Amino acid sequence: MSDLYARHRAVMPDWLALYYEEPLEITHGEGRYVWGADGTRYLDFFGGILTTMTAHALPEVTKAVSEQAGRIIHSSTLYLNRPMVELAERIAQLSGIPDARVFFTTSGTEANDTALLLATTYRRTNTVLAMRNSYHGRSFSTVGITGNKGWSPTSLSPLQTLYVHGGVRTRGPYAHLDDDAFVAACVDDLKDLLGHTRPPAALIAEPVQGVGGFTSPPDGLYAAFREVLRERGILWIADEVQTGWGRTGDHFWGWQAHARSGPPDIVTFAKGIGNGMSVGGVIARAEIMNCLDSNSISTFGGTQVTMAAALANLTYLLEHDLQGNARRVGGLLIERVRAAAAQDPGVREVRGRGLMIGVELVRPGTDEADPDRAAAVLEAARDGGLLIGKGGGHATSALRVAPPLTLTVAEAEEGAAILDSALRNTR
């Protein structure tokens, strides 16, 4: 056991998860690569849980942070803040939400917590709809709407949560149906559920379920849900903490795969926008955002240095069409991963879009999750010089592949080859 690991265990909670039998200390990074404390270089296909979205040590972002830190780092939301206003203007315009207002937080958990506060206050009810297999954060309220038992340590909650079918396409009672029938069955289930309860405040849903193993419904499901919700005045909250900013390649926001009914009422974001800096936020139309009738502030949400980083990162992302790169290089990467998995009886499914790819592992010949192999593949990939993640609602048996959006074709090929080897060596 390393000295740092021993010190970690002595002062950190037992439930604070670490990857690998011998946990890794990352000391620095550049582009799509990071280095461990022993000098080993790794190709990073997880980006600090989809947070280093653009690249490690991106010069435009580090320069913006350095220059802003030399002026002022923080003042709180009690004072006018130029970088915060400038970023809010750009995000409001990109959101697609009419008359949008933006509130900044420090994390996706806090963003979703704020969205729940807004929705329940606006609708005057504490009942919330959420998706099975979902994950929305680690606060008391967001744990209470998380539909993944591996990440929900308590059943206590300030909210009444009702869980809806649809987030997982290939499991559950409707998995055998084609896409149109699947959507119709989920809509019928939603209508039936709503017939047995007072109208909820909102449905909160990830367009692609992140911690759940990069699962998603057929395109259009949430648009069909929205038609049912709108008739009853129920809000739609899109949790874009992992899917926003072009990661899915096909769209800038994940909700746009379900766009026929227009934008959500509320969108939450975090992770990648700060490229490693602590930035989250909520976008909502003015009447919803302004429904609170008491004062509020955010001490660290929107602080100048994180806003400067996010502005530089967003500018780089748009000017270099990283959404297009995610679509092109992500398409190649998923083809390579599918080819590697084609002859592996323990791979149930390779799914995803853009640079957000899930590989679900099962015990051969069954649909039973295989978390032991997922852990073994993680170790083998690291041994080969590749860092990936894992997740999944049916035990932690899905590999999560989500490189920075500047990934090159050569790096995609390199990572796919290492993953291929890791899969072969753990059969």
All structural domains of the chain with their residue ranges: 62-319
Q: Give per-residue pLDDT as tens, 298-334.
A: 999 999 999 999 999 999 999 999 999 999 999 999 9
Backbone Cα Rg of the chain: 21
Q: What pLDDT is attached to residue 1? A: 56
Continuous segment of H or E residues that includes residue 8: helix 3-11
The set of residues, in sequence order, having a beta carbon less than 8 Å from that of 22 and lying 6+ positions away, is 2, 5
What is the CATH number that goes with domain 62-319?
3.40.640.10
Q: Give per-residue pLDDT as tens, 197-225.
A: 999 999 999 999 999 999 999 999 999 99
* pLDDT in single tens digits along all 427 residues of the chain: 589 999 999 999 999 999 999 999 999 999 999 999 999 999 999 999 999 999 999 999 999 999 999 999 999 999 999 999 999 999 999 999 999 999 999 999 999 999 999 999 999 999 999 999 999 999 999 999 999 988 888 888 999 999 999 999 999 999 999 999 999 999 999 999 999 999 999 999 999 999 999 999 999 999 999 999 999 999 999 999 999 999 999 999 999 999 887 899 999 999 999 999 999 999 999 999 999 999 999 999 999 999 999 999 999 999 999 999 999 999 999 999 999 999 999 999 999 999 999 999 999 999 999 999 999 999 999 999 999 999 998 788 999 999 999 999 999 999 999 999 999 999 9
* pTM of the predicted protein model: 0.96
Alpha-carbon distance 398 to 396, whole Å?
Answer: 6
Alpha-carbon distance 26 to 35, whole Å?
Answer: 6
Alpha-carbon distance 413 to 336, whole Å?
Answer: 8
